[in-house]
Structure 1
Amino acid sequence: MARRRGLSAEDKALWSRIAATAVPLHPSRKQAEPPPAPQPLKKPPVAPDPAPLLPPSGLRPGSSSGSGSTRFDLSPAPREALHLQPLRMDHKTHRQMARGKLAPEARIDLHGMTLATAQPVLTRFILQSKAEGRRLVLVITGKGREGGPETPLPVRPGALRHNVPHWLHMPPLSAAVLQVRPAHRRHGGEGAYYVYLRR
């Protein structure tokens, strides 16, 4: 077993500064010895200011109305977020699906629906498809209308496109869904998702 080392000079100085701020529980009792005066800590040398940080490539700039400043949308695009998720299905089947060579067995179009309407409709569709033994279904969300980067999420462009992957990964749908990927161009591209269901 290794021997314990004592406190370094810096640790002792820090402890004495903390001990000096302590208030005794019983002020009537005598203190054995006043704590030593705190010693100033040595500050590490200050490095020169680094170059200004540029936003990562995943951030999408948006203009702020009237102020002239730039605003960044920190949420990754749905396509990028889905590609970061681990592959949970067969590689060969996934490759065929990504190339648009697998035909979806059912599809649902959520165009024009509000978030409040679309979520229960999607839940019913996915659970019914799983009950009927389907494996690959297509969920069409559309790309969204232009509303500008300053609009709130429920009305910003692609609100359904951004929310559908989250809904598919939350209960009760997470128990039925094995993989979610953006659809191939022939099945809707960025405005649709392949949903591969569990057996």
Structure 2
Amino acid sequence: MARDRKLSADERILWGKVARSTRPMPGKAGALTELDAFLAEAEAAAEREQEKRTPATPTPLQPTAPSMAKPSAGVHHPLEKPVKRKIAKGRLALEARIDLHGLVQSEAHTILLDFLIRAHERSMRHVLVITGKGSSMGSDGALKRAVPLWFSKPEFRYLISSYESAAQHHGGEGALYIRLSRRHGERP
């Protein structure tokens, strides 16, 4: 990497997440607070920019019927019942699986993103992500709660078509069936 190349806002945010997962060296805590301030400013600027790009929509006089409304980009729907049933019974294969047990959120985020990108590049459709239930040793299930929230973030949004809790023998509430979106130009 060229030394005079500046990091983009996204790269700085990602680096900030990595930096927050470590302990600062003695006497270097000030640099971390500067980074936190920059990241907060960058996130606020990104939100302002997003608001500028999103045009104000007039409120309709009559509500539209849900069947006529288009699904918005980035909103993931649950798997269809027949698809979930086929996966649970083994008639539709899970092409890959990843277990995130024992990982902190920053590690899990990076590993999960890499796993899903590779699966998407290989045109896989159904994968299993095991987050764990988070009920052991006083844990509150941080990954179980965080992973579905990550799916609405831009880096995951284009990869995932839908997801839902897995069947009991695949991990139940501690695992997710994920249907990956089709690659651009790929036929069904």
* Residue 99 (structure 1) shift: 5.4
**Equivalent residues in 2 for 1:184-199 (5 A)?**
184-199=167-182
Higher alpha-carbon deviation: 161-170 or 85-94: 85-94
Tell me if structure 2 keeps the 8 A contact 1:100–1:183.
no
Identity of aligned residues (%): 40
Q: State the match for 1:166 in structure 2.
A: 149
Confirm or deny that 1:117 pairs with 2:107: yes
In 2, Cα distance between equivalents of 1:87 and 1:177: 10
Confirm or deny that 1:157 pairs with 2:157: no
In 2, Cα distance between equivalents of 1:135 and 1:195: 8
Q: State the match for 2:10 in structure 1.
A: none
In 1, Cα distance between equivalents of 2:163 and 2:80: 13
Confirm or deny that 1:143 pairs with 2:143: no
Which of 1 and 2 has greater Rg?
1
Alpha-carbon RMSD across the aligned residues, in angstroms, is 2.3
Q: State the match for 1:130 in structure 2.
A: 120
Q: Which runs of 4+ in 1 moved over 6 A?
A: none
Partner letter of residue 136 of structure 1? Answer: H
Partner letter of residue 132 of structure 2? Answer: G
| Between structures 1 and 2, the one with greater helix share | 2
Gapped runs of 5+ residues in structure 2?
1-74, 183-188
* Residue 97 (structure 1) shift: 3.3
Tell me if structure 2 keeps the 8 A contact 1:182–1:190.
yes
**For 2:158, which of 175, 180, 194 is the aligned residue?**
175
Tell me if structure 1 keeps the 8 A contact 2:160–2:178.
yes
In 2, Cα distance between equivalents of 1:174 and 1:98: 24
Cα deviation, 1:58-105, whole Å, max 9, x if unaligned, reads xxxxxxxxxxxxxxxxxxxxxxxxxxx874766632442365643310
Tell me if structure 2 keeps the 8 A contact 1:100–1:186.
no
In 1, Cα distance between equivalents of 2:76 and 2:151: 15
Partner letter of residue 119 of structure 2? Answer: S
Tell me if structure 2 keeps the 8 A contact 1:100–1:187.
no
How many residues are aligned here? 108
In 2, Cα distance between equivalents of 1:97 and 1:121: 24
In 1, Cα distance between equivalents of 2:88 and 2:77: 12
